[in-house]
Amino acid sequence: MKSLFNKGAVTAIVLLITATLSGCGEDNAQQSAAPATPSNEHYNFRLAHTWPTNFPIFGDAIHSMATMANKMSNGRINITIDSKNKHKAPFGIFDMVKSGQYDMGHSGSYYWKGKVPNTLYFTSMPFGMTAEEQYAWFYHGGGFDLTQKVYAPHNLISFPGGNTGNQMGGWFQKEINSIEDLQGLKMRIPGFAGEILAKVGGKPTNIPAGELYTALERGTIDALEWVGPSLDLRMGFHKVAPYYYTGWHEPGSEMQFLFNKEKWESLPADIQEILRVSMRLAAYDMYAHSYHESAVNWDSMKADYPNIQVKSFPNEVLQAMKDVNDVLIAEYAAADPLAKEIIDSQAAYLKKARAWTKISDQSYYETMESLQ
Ligand code: CA
C-alpha cells in the first residue's frame, strides 16, 4: 500500500507528540524497546472489558480511545471491543490480556488484589489521593513506574483508564451517628474498604449490580455504595434509601487500560505513541465526563427527590475507620518490600500534594462559600 505520509513527516509528527508528553515516566519506560522505524502496516487489536455492553461513561471512554487511535493512525489501527456480555469473564481481563487471548483490556486494578496483592494500590485508596492528586502522582510523581513494577512480571502494562472522581459513601436506610450504628450493618462495599468496615463491626458483602436495587429495597442489605450521581441515578437507589453519605473510601477511582507487554513491545514507535496518547486522552476525558454526569444528575435528583438527605459520617466513625486503615496498610507494608515502596511513595506524595490542595482548591471553596 502506498504511504500517505513520507517517512520524514511521520517522524516529525511522532517527535512532536513525544515532545508534548516529555518528562513523563511512561515515555522512558516503554520507548526503548520499540523499533525505531514507523510502519505502514495495519494493526488489529482485540480489547476485552469488565463492563456490560453500552455501559455509560466507562464504555464511552473505551470507544473514544479506539476511535481516536483509528483516526490518528489514518485507519491503520483497528480495535475490536468485546464487553463482558461477549467474553463472559468480567474478572478474567487480567488473565486474558496476560496470555495474549486479548491484546488489550479495560478494567480496575483493585479487582486483581486476590491474584496479585500489589495491584490494590492503583485504583483508589481509602483516605487517599483525589483524582487530581493521583493523576499528578501517576504521570509525574513516580506512580506510573511503580505500576509497571507490579504488572511487568505478569507480561502486562497498565495505563490509567479514566477516573470516576470522588465517590459517594453510599445509600443508607438508617442514619449513622456512632460506631454502634455500624455493628452488624450489612453493606455492599467491595475490596479494601470492605475489609475496613468489617474491622469496625460491619458486614460487607458483594452483590451483582443487577440485584442491588432489590437487595436494598427488601432489606437484604442495609446500605450500599456504588459510584456517585454519575452512575447512581440510573440505578434508582434514591427511591429506596433516604440517606446519601459523602465519601471516604474511593476518593478518585482510576480505571485501567491493560496491554499485553510482549505485543506492545513488538509495535513500532508511532503506533505505540498513537495508542498511548489515545489512552491518556480518553482517561482524562472520562474524568471530565464523570464530573459532568454527576453534576447534571445530582441537579435532577435534588429536584425530583427533595427528601434525599446528604450526610457525612461523624468524626468518631471516620477516625475509627482511618485507624483500622492505617493498621492494615502498615501490615501490608511490613509483609512485602514492593508494597512498602508503593505505600511510602503514595504517602509522601499525598503529604506534598495535599499541602498544595489546601491552599489552592480547598481555600478557594471555603472562601467562595463565605461570600454572598
Ligand atoms: Ca464504588
158 and 97 in a single domain? The answer is yes
153 and 27 in a single domain? The answer is yes
Specify the pLDDT at position 39: 60
Query: Strands 156-163 and 254-260: what pairing?
Result: antiparallel
Which triple of cell numbers denotes residue 127? Answer: 483516605
Specify the pLDDT at position 6: 43
Q: Tell me whether residue 301 is in a domain.
A: no
131 and 279 in a single domain? The answer is yes
Q: Tell me whether residue 154 is in a domain.
A: yes
Which triple of cell numbers denotes residue 333? Answer: 507494608
Q: Tell me whether residue 352 is in a domain.
A: no
What is the domain range of residue 283?
7-163+254-292
Q: Tell me whether residue 351 is in a domain.
A: no
- How many angstroms separate the alpha carbon of residue 229 from the centre of ligand 1? 11
What is the model's pTM? 0.89
- How many angstroms separate the alpha carbon of residue 226 from the centre of ligand 1? 4
51 and 98 in a single domain? The answer is yes
- How many angstroms separate the alpha carbon of residue 250 from the centre of ligand 1? 6
Q: 230: closest CA among 176, 300, 179?
A: 300
- How many angstroms separate the alpha carbon of residue 170 from the centre of ligand 1? 8
CA 223: distance to chain centroid?
23
What pLDDT digit, counting tens, does each position of 81-134 carry? 999 999 999 999 999 999 999 999 999 999 999 999 999 999 999 999 999 999
Specify the pLDDT at position 4: 39
Q: What is the mean pLDDT of each run of 10 residues along the chain (372 residues)?
A: 41 42 45 58 97 96 98 98 96 98 97 96 98 98 98 98 98 97 97 95 90 96 97 95 98 98 97 98 98 97 95 98 98 98 98 98 96 90
Q: Tell me whether residue 114 is in a domain.
A: yes
156 and 175 in a single domain? The answer is no
| Torsion sign across C-alpha atoms 246, 330, 183, 208 | positive
Domain count, the chain: 2
Q: Tell me whether residue 126 is in a domain.
A: yes
Q: Tell me whether residue 113 is in a domain.
A: yes
In three-state secondary structure terms, 171 is strand
Specify the pLDDT at position 34: 55
Burial class (CB in 10 A: 0-12, 13-18, 19+), 184: exposed
Specify the pLDDT at position 37: 58
86 and 102 in a single domain? The answer is yes
27 and 154 in a single domain? The answer is yes
| CATH number of the domain that residue 205 is part of | 3.40.190.10
Q: Tell me whether residue 312 is in a domain.
A: yes
What pLDDT digit, counting tens, does each position of 283-309 carry? 999 999 999 999 999 999 999 999 999
75 and 219 in a single domain? The answer is no
193 and 273 in a single domain? The answer is no
